[in-house]
Amino acid sequence: MRASDPRTGYPESDIVPIVAGDGDTPQTVVDIPSDGLFRPTQVKVEYDDSASVAVTLSLFDDADGTASADVEDLRDRFRNIQPGETRAVDDLDMREFEEDVLAQTDGNQDGPLDVTVYGELITGLADVMGGS
């Protein structure tokens, strides 16, 4: 399901549900075109109140389909997300993402977790920067 950023109108990610048991598998939150960059403006995490343990969510700048053992470019980590909690973080100090935005939990997740990354998609950089 698509979500729009009500504050800016910037392009946005899908709302990506991470089901219990799949959290340690990287999930693509934003699929970035090969000639683009994605500048995040907000990360929103909603952890279902049916869960019973806190979870840590990590965001990586790696290609779609990257295995959990191969994710390398950690951009941010959101710790101690409690069952029933909705956390929206606006004060982001992240570089632009170049590959794709991947989300992965620490494996403790035992309830549904929704992740949305709002931001600005910048495309056509190859033409602007003299690339082909």
- CB distance 92 to 42 below 8 Å: yes
Q: Indicate the domain borders of the chain.
A: 16-124
Mean pLDDT of all residues belonging to the chain: 82
Determine the CATH number of domain 16-124.
2.60.120
Higher pLDDT, 78 or 19: 78
Measured distance CA(117)–CA(99) in Å, rounded: 15
- List the strands of the sheet with 100-105, edge to edge: 27-31, 100-105, 55-61, 74-81
User: Does the predicted model carry a pTM greater than 0.75?
Assistant: yes
Encoded tokens for 87: 């956390």
pLDDT tens readout for residues 63-92: 988 888 899 999 999 999 999 999 998 877
Q: What is the pLDDT of residue 108?
A: 85
